[in-house]
A and B are shown apart, each in its own frame.
Chain A
Amino acid sequence: MAGRTLYDKIWDLHQVRRNDDGTSLLYIDRHLVHEVTSAQAFEGLELADRPLWRRDSILAVADHNVPTVGQAQGIADPVSRLQVETLDRNCERFDVTEFRLGDPRNGIVHVVGPEQGATLPGMTVVCGDSHTSTHGAFAALAFGIGTSEVEHVMATQCLIQQKSKNMRVRIEGAVGPGVTAKDIVLHIIGVIGTAGGTGHAIEFAGEAIRNLSMEGRMTVCNMTIEAGARAGLIACDQTTLDYVRGRPYGPREDHWQQAVASWQDLHSDDDAQFDREVEIDAADIAPQVTWGTSPEMVCSVADAVPDPAAEIDTVRATGMRGALEYMGLEAGTAIRDIPLDKVFIGSCTNSRIEDLRAAAKVAEGRRVAGNVKLAMVVPGSGLVKQQAEAEGLDRIFIDAGFEWREPGCSMCLAMNADRLEPGERCASTSNRNFEGRQGQGGRTHLVSPAMAAAAAVHGHFVDVRELD
């Protein structure tokens, strides 16, 4: 038999049946749920009088709509409150585990799942959220689904799926100092484009990926969706096992050896065939900054804003012009000369403990620049917040003039009160720089946590490699 990819293997493990038309019925191990994409699914079940197939496969949190200050006082905005209360009510009615607002285990769904061990190697993980790709860092097949599919999984524990093609992106060699997982993934998107992975599951491999911590791997897989692929995967190794062991939802100790044995095979075979392969030299990757309104509009911090006049593809050139106009940028401006109004450190891409440590390291002993109106740090979960406080990171941020907030999605998508005003420019560790994403008329530059902290204390972008 020809070698199989990691994606092939997980697929095969979960295929309940193959239909005549080439689709498969795929079994789902873990279903993560949040307030924005679940209400209509629960309602659908009730209307059709269908029970949950496996209630304990579901873990729910409220994250998108929650305030990041005064969570103990509840949600002031009545529309957001209704959505969160609807989730609470649905979880009660259907007897689903939910970490409610204020529970230290609450937080952004993609931070909470792995933190609890609810995401394990070899699993299929779904959530009504495109950044479910994050969980692929655990050698899991994880992808975002729409609300109809949320309902389908609730009712049948399965999804009807067409298998994707296999793609591998190898980052060979070691990255230089100051270059993080975020820079790696932004660089990949810059190379392959936001539709580069459409129709594929992308496996990330190579020395630079193996060298990443689980936090770093999650950052890379998180942004797979920004490269057009629903799922990103990374092989299981000792780093994975060390992270997973002992987590509340993980295997009990008496099952541990058996679980580890079954996870040994969670990598692509040497002779596995990929439909597409991309290789990138890690040494080529510099700290990245996006300059436009799509994550593929990205360059090195040492570069200048590119010129649409130099672009031969006319559709692309038009896109670039539109982006520069929206972003209020002139072609040729050095990235370093771009001044900032706000800085956001958080989101499911970069709000884990390692991200906060990296930002705090830069912020320590410095002050947020005078032109920066707001620099905020939003931990990904209550447990990340507790850990950061135990390490004194909150003090470092507060002393430097950052705001230290409570967990949630926050200004990643600005569904709560945290947002950009029209025209405001933000260095953000989140994953999308779409028009209006962080607030109508807001301008987002995607960067790593260290780059965001450095931008906060200088008031404009700086190359973290040049900080002393």
Chain B
Amino acid sequence: MDKFETFTGVVAAIDRPNIDTDAIIPKQYLKSIKRSGFGVNLFDDWRYLDPGAPGDDHSRRRPNPDFVLNQDAFAATSILLARENFGCGSSREHAVWALLDFGIRVVIAPSFADIFYNNSFKNGLLPIALETTQVDRLFAALGASDDYRLTIDLERQCVIDPEGVEATFEVDAFRRHCLLNGLDDIGLTMQYADEIRDFEQAYYARSPWLERAPS
């Protein structure tokens, strides 16, 4: 995983609450056994006027000109702004892979669904929960500008707007640490392998019926 460094990027807004994982990446694309290549199908139902299937040449499909990410000014979007409960629905990590593959590295919303929130950090996508009033303010400012950019500083936990106004956000220390240093969770947990083994021994001694291997 790459280290998360401070950056300034193009912001696109989708003004809807409850943007679910089916909307982020429709299920037909979950048939892939890879982690990459989902970006062209990010928000597929909203992004294209004709239906798509895995393996299609998506460059030949009809893009929906009204959809924000299809507009030239937003082709380089790296920050997405949305309403509450972003990422609700299924556990598919493909939703996070699709956002990242498109180039989005930060999603700002008043709240996130738990599994999506969790999956984001594992892949280097930063979900930022801001107060609803702050999100409202960003929506308004974005609507009033042609070229709106935000700076994301994870080290200082703040979102900085073009006027230099900062909005701070909360993020748990461990996740922040992993993101800033590009650390792999599994390697971290492996440091405790002996503790896990000790735990297991006591645990199965206490509950021997769990030890039975299914066959």
Contact = CB atoms under 8 A, between A and B. Distances in A.
Interface of A: 16-17, 19, 21-23, 25, 27, 29, 36-37, 39-40, 43, 48, 50, 53, 56, 59, 64-65, 79-80, 82-83, 86, 97, 116, 118, 120, 122-123, 128-130, 132, 144-149, 151-152, 155-158, 160, 162, 164, 194-195, 198-199, 228-230, 248-252, 255-256, 258-259, 262, 294, 315-316, 319, 322, 413-415, 432, 434-437, 440
Given A16-B192, A195-B88, A258-B208, A27 B203 contact: yes
Contact of A37 (B88, B92, B207): B92
Contacts of B203: 27
A43 to B, nearest CB: 8
Contacts of A315: 17, 83-84
A383 B200 CA distance: 33
Nearest to B55: A79
Nearest to A145: B91
Contacts of B215: 97
Contacts of B199: 16, 27
Contacts of B31: 36, 65, 79-80, 82-83, 415
Interface centre among A149, A155, A164, A251 (most CB of B within 10 A): A149
Considering the complex of A and B, which 4 residue pairs feature the smallest CB-CB distances, nearest first?
A251-B209, A148-B122, A146-B119, A255-B209
B114 A198 contact: yes
B55 A319 contact: no
Nearest to A432: B89
17 contacts: A16-B196, A25-B195, A56-B213, A65-B31, A79-B55, A80-B31, A122-B207, A145-B118, A146-B91, A146-B119, A149-B118, A149-B119, A155-B190, A199-B114, A249-B214, A256-B209, A432-B89
A435 B212 contact: no
A230 B195 contact: no
A65 B185 CA distance: 30
Contacts of B27: 413-415, 437
Interface string B145-167: 00000000000000000000000
Interface in B183-198: 185-186, 188-190, 192-193, 195-196
Nearest to B121: A148
A288 B119 CA distance: 33
Interface of B: 16-18, 20, 22-23, 26-28, 30-35, 45, 51, 54-55, 83-85, 88-93, 96, 111, 113-115, 118-119, 122-123, 172-174, 177, 185-186, 188-190, 192-193, 195-196, 199-200, 203, 206-210, 212-215
Contacts of A294: 18
Given A48-B186, A252-B209, A440-B45, A434 B22 contact: yes
Contact of B186 (A56, A59, A151, A440): A151
Contact of A156 (B18, B20, B123, B190): B190
Nearest to A118: B214
A22 B96 CA distance: 25
A337 to B, nearest CB: 27
Given A40-B33, A118-B214, A195-B84, A155 B16 contact: no
B173 to A, nearest CB: 5
Contacts of B200: 27, 157
A385 B148 CA distance: 57
Given A21-B174, A37-B92, 16 more contacts: A21-B172, A25-B192, A40-B35, A59-B214, A79-B54, A128-B91, A158-B196, A164-B114, A198-B85, A229-B114, A248-B214, A249-B214, A251-B209, A259-B209, A315-B17, A440-B45
Contacts of B174: 19, 21-23, 160
Contacts of B28: 415
Contacts of A25: 189, 192, 195-196
Contacts of A116: 214
A160 B214 contact: no
B48 to A, nearest CB: 10
B81 to A, nearest CB: 14
A131 to B, nearest CB: 8
A249 to B, nearest CB: 5
Contacts of B91: 37, 128-130, 132, 144-146
A149 B22 contact: no
Given A25-B189, A149-B118, A255 B196 contact: no
B181 to A, nearest CB: 14
A302 B28 CA distance: 36
A382 B91 CA distance: 25
Contact of B122 (A50, A149, A228, A440): A149
A198 B89 CA distance: 12
A430 B163 CA distance: 48
A50 B186 contact: yes
A252 B212 contact: yes
Contacts of A194: 18, 85, 88
B45 A436 contact: yes
Contacts of B32: 79, 83
Given A17-B192, A79-B31, A198-B85, A259 B54 contact: no
Nearest to A15: B199
A48 B1 CA distance: 14
Contacts of A316: 17
